[in-house]
Structure 1
């Protein structure tokens, strides 16, 4: 049997889909994970999501769905983590293409349902921003999740919406998300986290990294993103809840607005109108800003000194953990230096590594 798991926001949701498959289906069935190729600027210097035209080596699964095998490559200057995920995880990764709006994504889903006849269809969102109205002040990246939700609500097949790690994406507060959750489906364990432990050594997802960390028992407050947002690591962190799909759509104003869209430009326009911004505009502006910024050299003595200053200030803010993605931003390093930074810190201070997070000393 085939299980179809839709990674609602792409990126880390695709990694969390592997945890979900290991937990719920025990690896007995084949998984097809449908996901955006949208890795943000630390991995992909080109703003916005990638489509099939941005890759070589894709394999056609249906008329509009392409899979990303391990030997596929993004066309420079674009970047993508999907080929490496395909190489390291035992699943088929299929490319969710947002460039034809909700109608295009719906068409992709319908073709997959017809072609695969999946035993189940799960839509997975880590954090819960898929449940946003659109006007919440802490909301940062509603577009991808809203588009996925709009498409899934139009598929003529039973679809289950799952939210893992409520509040862990830093988009909506835990107390806010908690009130919208349905029944508990699963609580991730150490064993579940092991299914993605090697991937999280290099994958930049902060939300899924914290999901795995809480499954391993890590608790505290983790600082994330370029803005340094604090996220609580609690006993609710490793939980997975079901949410009624129709209730989510009736709440999500952006998802309702994009139901009939036929292009990504239309989706962006609705995002600007309803949310007041487009996250792709944010990436465009940040990409221009990054070009003008001088990147620091990865000098061990300098990095450790700056790290000490950061940790002192972080402790005063009540922070107990952070991500290597956030440290890369804090230390003015480039995304390509993140892995080297991680190795440097773990080598010098292994006692502070609480996989896959960094514990503030």
Structure 2
């Protein structure tokens, strides 16, 4: 028997699901995490989620259930970090394919429950957009979460929703979010994050990285990439809230409206009607407007990279930010993978206080 968890939004949510599973049941308890292959364009340049035919080497565990393994490979031009993540996390990873809408997802979840011999579901979200009303100006990616909620309701299986690190996804303002969540059910600590300790050496998820940092005791203001405001890491940031599925459905107009939805195209239309936008359409526009790759350039010297970082660091500190994610540093400085490795190695050499895994502390002097 395996515990069955669902990572509500894709991207870094499987990492958060593994952390919450470790806190609830112990990291070594067998588990399956169902997740979308729906990753940022920096990972997957093809807009929207991937489905099983977009991969080679998936493991057919049961009809309707495809497992991602380290031998799984995305078919070009698609990209995915799920195969690598499957080798780094203790729970197995199964693929959620939303192209059949709520009804298709419900069939997949039911198949996974039978395979796990699980009689209930833990649905995990990092940040809290799973309880978005849909009209928040900073809301960016509610569709995957709402589809997962609606699909769990369709299965009829008892489902508990866990929201970890409220506000860390920077989508619903914390002051609006906390009254919807109620009192925290548990508080994460460093021991709960041990099973994901090396993931952020290569994975770009920011919300999950912030959750890990908060659980490990990092406190202060952190800057993330492409967010409306920096995030404050305090005790609230390491809390996990437990909600009934009925409560989440009551809070989420989008999840309610997706009941009975039979295709992703239909789900997009529902999202436009409820929230005023489709995040997949936004991804298509971003992909179409993406700048062409820069011409090859020789790698800069370590000293030159540190100088560029120092200038960026001064500007970032002036914004009141004390910590930064690897992804923010990499993208705002427009670094190649080799340049990133060179710069971060130089920062580690500068002193152990620089690297506060998985974040980077900005120097004040």
- Residue 312 in structure 1 maps to residue 314 in structure 2: yes
Q: 1:284 to 1:97 in 2, by over 3 A?
A: same
- Please tell me whether residue 331 in structure 1 is matched to residue 333 in structure 2: yes
Change (3 A) 1:258 1:335: farther
Residue of structure 1 aligned with 2:305, choices 303, 306, 309:
303
Quote the offset at 1:46 in angstroms: 1.3
Q: Report 1:119-198 matches (<5 A).
A: 120-198=120-198
Structure 1 residue 289, shift from structure 2 partner = 2.8
CA distance in 1 between counterparts of 2:335 and 2:272 reads 31
Cα distance in 2, alignment partners of residues 343 and 83 from structure 1: 26
Q: Which moved more, 1:288-297 or 1:145-154?
A: 288-297
Q: For residues 161 and 227 of structure 1, do their structure 2 counterparts lie closer, same or farther at Cα, with a shift above 3 Å needed?
A: closer
Shift in Å, 1:136: 0.2
Contact 2:305 2:339 in 1 (8 A): no
Residues 247 and 267 of structure 1: CA distance in aligned 2, closer, same or farther (over 3 Å): same
Alignment of 1:1-361 (within 5 A): 1-118=1-118, 120-227=120-227, 229-292=229-292, 294=294, 298-299=299-300, 300-333=302-335, 341-348=343-350, 350-361=352-363
Give the TM-score, by structure 1 length. Answer: 0.94
SS at match of 2:331: helix
Aligned length: 361
Say which SS state the counterpart of residue 235 (structure 2) adopts.
coil
* More displaced stretch, 218-227 vs 161-170: 218-227
Deviation per CA, 1:223-247: give whole Å up to 9, x if none. 1123463111111111111012212
The secondary structure found in structure 1 opposite 2:283 is: helix
- 1:303 Cα offset (Å): 3.0
TM-superposed deviation, 1:293: 5.6
Rounded to whole Å, the distance in 2 between the matches of 1:79 and 1:344 is 29
**3-state secondary structure, aligned to 2:180:** coil
**How many angstroms apart in 2 are the aligned matches of 1:351 and 1:290?**
36
Alpha-carbon shift at residue 125 of structure 1 (Å) = 0.3
Q: Is the 8 A contact 1:249 1:255 kept in 2?
A: yes
Check the 8 A contact 1:6/1:35 in 2, yes or no. yes
Q: CA deviation at 1:339?
A: 5.2
CA distance in 2, matches of 1:305, 1:318: 21
**Equivalents in 1 of 2:78, 2:248: separation in Å?**
33
- Aligned pair in 2 of structure 1 residues 319, 302: CA closer, same or farther (>3 Å)? same
Q: How far is the alpha carbon of 1:100 from its aligned partner? A: 0.9
What is the Cα-based RMSD across aligned positions, in Å?
2.0
Aligned mates of 2:128, 2:279 — CA distance in 1 = 17
